[in-house]
Every structure is written in C-alpha cells, then in structure tokens.
Amino acid sequence: MFLCSALNKVIIFSAPSGSGKTTVVNHLLKTIPELGFSVSATTRKPRENEVDGREYHFLEVADFENKIENGAFLEHEEVYKGIFYGTLNSEIERLWSEGKTVVFDVDVVGGLNIKKKFGEQALSVFLRPPSIDILMERLRKRSTEVEHQLQMRIEKAQFELQFEQQYDKVLINDKLEDTLLKAEEIVRNFIAS
C-alpha cells in the first residue's frame, strides 16, 4: 500500500455511462496542470482508437484476477458479467510521486469506495445527465453498443443515479460549456484548500 499524506489529494468523477465524464475529465487535465489521470484497468476489449496504458490498462480476466489476489488494486468491481474495472495502487503512487493531484474517471460504486478510503483528502463529483431520455440519446449517438447493451447501460444508470447524494458535489451536464467551467471552479477550489 502507499503512504497517504495531507498533501496528497484525489478527485473522483463518477457518472452513468454516456453522461460526459470522460469529456469533463479530459478538459480538466488539459486546463489544470496540477492534475494527473489515474488510468484504470479493465478486462473489456479496447474500442477503436483506444490505446493500452492511455485510456485503460487492458487486461485478460486471468491477469486481472491475479492482480486482485496480489492486492494490486485500490478498488475493483465486476461492472458487467465478466467485465472488470479497477484502480491500480501503482497509478496513485506514480502520480503522487510526480506531485500531482490524482483524478479518477470511475463508475459510481468505485467512486464511493475510493471516497471511503481517502475521506477528506478526496473530492467526489457526480456528473449526471439532465434526464434518462437524453442519456439514451447520447449513448445511441456513440454507436459503441448494440440495443441490448444500451438497455443494460440504461438500467445501470437508473441504479447509479440513486447514489448521487452520497457525492460531495453533483453537476448536471446539460450545457457542456457551463459544465466545464463549473467543474474547473470546483476542482481549483479543492486543490487550493
């Protein structure tokens, strides 16, 4: 495990799939140099243009399970049947050694687990879509899933929305420009505190 000092902070962005959290996190990483991105590990297959070690550490299920057994994860979850996601301790150590505030782009349950581990050293932000209908429209435009996968994501989103009040901040991603500005303000205030 790693040493956690008062100077080491983490920021957690969670949202139902398709809510825009990756867009928000990428914007923050470009505009706030004190931030460093924690690359999650997953057993899902890479999408087009995704690079191992950049968007995710893409692992085989057996390798992922071996890392679980060896305590390599801060948190992990089987998000969908046979599809695991997790946060490697080595990612946090790497970013803290560079003097960065760690930014996580994780699912809702993973975000709550990270918040529990870091307490006041963590800022948790829940990014929500304006409505489930708009979320469904965004997911369809992405064209990354077939219909039954879309339905699974919507069911999971409805479940995840129940947890938004457990987060420190809730941002409704209605107008992207406004959401980006508000996210910057929230993050800058937390880093400065």
CATH fourth-level superfamily of 10-192: P-loop containing nucleotide triphosphate hydrolases (3.40.50.300)
Q: Could you tell me which residues come within 8 angstroms of residue 23 by beta carbon, excluding any fewer than 6 positions away?
A: 176
Q: How far apart are CA 44 and CA 50, in angstroms?
A: 12
Q: Where are the domains of the chain?
A: 10-192
Element (H, E) at 12: strand 10-14
> What average pLDDT does this structure show over 44-49?
91
CA geometry: angle 87, 118, 27, nearest 5 deg: 60
Higher-confidence position of 7 and 166: 166
In the block, residue with structure tokens 């994860």? 73
pTM for the model: 0.83
Q: How far apart are CA 188 and CA 137, in angstroms?
A: 31
pLDDT digits (tens, 9 = 90+) for 109-167: 889 999 999 999 999 999 998 877 777 776 677 666 566 677 777 777 788 888 999 99
pLDDT digits (tens, 9 = 90+) for 70-81: 999 999 988 888
